[in-house]
Amino acid sequence: MSDGVQTEMRGAVGVVTLDRPKALNALNLEMCRRLLPQLEAWAADPAVKAVVVRGAGGRAFCAGGDVRAVAASTVEPRGAGPERLSREFFRAEYALNHRIHHFGKPYISLVDGICMGGGLGLSIHGSHRVVTEKLVLAMPETGIGLFPDVGGGWFLPRFPGESGTYLGLTGARCGAADAMWLGYGTHHVESARLDSVLEALVRAEWGAGPASAVVERILSSFHADAGTSVLATQHAAMDRCFAAERVEDIQQALEAEGSAWAQQTWATLVHRCPTSLKVSLRQLRMGRKRDYDEMVAVEYRLSQSMTARADFREGIRAVLVDKDNKPRWHPGTLGDVSEADVEACFAPRDGDELVLAPG
Ligand code: QUE
């Protein structure tokens, strides 16, 4: 059995295929637990020059984490196992992201189709991301009562201007040209040519020089212009509206902006979880000044406090179970989310902190 993920060596390339196509390759605990030791082994093996990660099924790279299973586990009767899933899953997922972040060899994601949330965690921390015309990229967590995790507190503030604040709060979807503009995509290649990209990496002569130079040369030879980014055209308005320190002020700035983009964005924010919005903005501002490893520890605290809230189960119900897309949030308005409520979500967890090996 593949346990949702296949791994194999091809030439000097370790190949990972995320293989849960019916769930759009959403990452579950078993997949994280298989991948982490495999990456450890490949990092330590001098015969491995590079790693390639891709999704099976042709529709998605990875739709996110298996949040449905996590939500189900928070309502099951307390016993020996399932109620621990929230703890075990986020620990395993963030440890995997951390391993990729510090991998040290070329780690190339072939991002062909849907890539959301946990899919960014599997790709953005590596060295290269090849995106295609099928890319749909988003951090949609504020729509299910969570927050942009898997390092979002670190990578979103490092996108151009306030684009990361915009993406993290609204969950807006981007295409390939946007992904290139953000710096998420390092190369843009037609979907139909991805097998040839992998083949070229597998056949490469690695020699004695740096493997990264070989990877760069190969990926560049397949690269084609991705066209005009929609995000880029909204850049100035995004910077004007999303620079504020309070979500209420962002909404007010969008009202004052008045454009069709601003009206749409305002309408999107109104449907997001109010507690998620306030928690996420604080997380994103915190991440401006902290390094990646520090933000992972913060995000682990948030993963535990946010998945324990009723809004998370309600978000999963509305978006993934009943699919009515009409979540009823509590509190239901920004004004009813107090500073103390937000602060409490960030509180250190006695005996349950995530401590990962430094760099
Ligand atoms: C926010 C999320 C996720 C999401 C939708 C959100 C997420 C996730 C999935 C998802 C989608 C389709 C599937 C599946 C999972 O949707 O993390 O198994 O078939 O995994 O608004 O964070």
pLDDT in tens, 275-315: 999 999 999 999 999 999 999 999 999 999 999 999 999 99
Q: Which domain holds residue 72?
A: 5-345
Q: How far apart, in whole angstroms, are the C-alpha atoms of residue 108 and residue 197?
A: 11
Instruction: Note whether residue 242 is domain-resident.
Output: yes
Instruction: Note whether residue 132 is domain-resident.
Output: yes
pTM: 0.96
CATH number of the domain residue 29 falls in: 3.90.226.10
| Residue whose C-alpha is closest to residue 188's, from 101, 260, 129, 276 | 129
Q: How far apart, in whole angstroms, are the C-alpha atoms of residue 146 and residue 273?
A: 8
Residue 336 has pLDDT above 70, yes or no: yes
Instruction: Note whether residue 355 is domain-resident.
Output: no
- Confidence (pLDDT) at 7: 98
What is the total count of domains within the chain? Answer: 1
Helix (H) or strand (E) holding 41: helix 29-44
Instruction: Note whether residue 235 is domain-resident.
Output: yes
Taking the CA of residue 24 as reference, the ligand 1 atom at the shortest distance is 19
Taking the CA of residue 22 as reference, the ligand 1 atom at the shortest distance is 19
85-141 pLDDT, tens digit per residue, is 999 999 999 999 999 999 999 999 999 999 999 999 999 999 999 999 999 999 999
| Residue whose C-alpha is closest to residue 114's, from 141, 143, 146, 137 | 137
Q: How far is the CA of 63 from the centre of ligand 1 (A)?
A: 5
Q: Which of 67, 90, 120 best tests ligand 1's pocket when mutated (most atoms within 8 Å of CB)?
A: 67
Q: Is residue 117 in contact with ligand 1, taking CB distance under 6 Å?
A: yes
Q: How far apart, in whole angstroms, are the C-alpha atoms of residue 137 and residue 57?
A: 17
Residue 255 has pLDDT above 60, yes or no: yes
- Confidence (pLDDT) at 84: 86
Instruction: Note whether residue 67 is domain-resident.
Output: yes
What's the mean pLDDT in 149-164? Answer: 98
Instruction: Note whether residue 311 is domain-resident.
Output: yes
Preceding amide of 21 cis, omega within 30: no
Instruction: Note whether residue 357 is domain-resident.
Output: no
Residue 69 has pLDDT above 90, yes or no: yes
Instruction: Note whether residue 195 is domain-resident.
Output: yes
